[in-house]
Structure 1
């Protein structure tokens, strides 16, 4: 089966690519992640994937464009929020509600490209992370499979997540510390601040 595999990052691609190849599928990676912010983070993840693709010798089609406006547009938010998300005054849907639109955006672009490219199916490496909303991803994938008449190749890779992260460390791949969007980054920063205050109060 010829599968177009949406890749969120190099770490999460390790086991899906390995497993699908072992099953004799033909894999083409697809990079489309306008949610990732800031540009430096976007570049780190993109460069890490390019390195891995070269080492493992699999093709990746890149939508190599840092486009946060496309992501923010789903929430009707201006790009000025990128400069100061805390004082923006906008109500941002919390995790996991806001993730639904993000999954939809990335998977729809993947499904569309799979249809145009004549692929048998599409899938995503997001399916390996226990930190993602698996059910929402599956729901979006199945809906888009019907819309574009391309199979959504469903596999639960989550049992391999820890092994994948260990392997990523051994390979020296860039390992991110938050999901990718400006909101997940801000949530991580707030948590660090709270933890720091707790530590000082002990």
Structure 2
């Protein structure tokens, strides 16, 4: 369950991406359909030039997500895929991912598997948002913290595979850690790449 601060953080990330790339179609992968709240958070921030691909192993959850997206008239900007999120690398039309939203299975191994599968596709300038990093008890939700999520994220930060952008609500936002020399390696000494 998302809380207001989670929605605000997702919207902030989308807004920042739109400011970086005002004319390009933003590519979003949403792992874990839930009730469609993550997709709705994205659509609340931008009215066009965005494609959200939601992946879930539960066809019924995906159907609910499709319904809420349909209710706001945004089906043209949404695609749903049934499958294991760590294995559901689907045809992306050659586009890198701008925003990766992870709110699926909350175990340590599952979070690591999802991130291992999808982070290589994230643009250097892209963001990853991971739900259930924080403690829902602090917000009166009566749900135990997902310790596996926090453990997986903290481990990837320690290994310098992710860098922290912001923690708000129960969500964590960051970027794939990319050293500047890796970004510029294939461009020669006179050019600097700003995005992947």
Which TM-score applies when normalising by structure 2? 0.40
Larger strand proportion, structure 1 or 2? 2
Ranked by relative contact order (alpha carbons within 8 Å, sequence separation 6 or more), the top structure is: 1
Larger helix proportion, structure 1 or 2? 1
Pair member with larger Rg: 1
Which TM-score applies when normalising by structure 1? 0.39
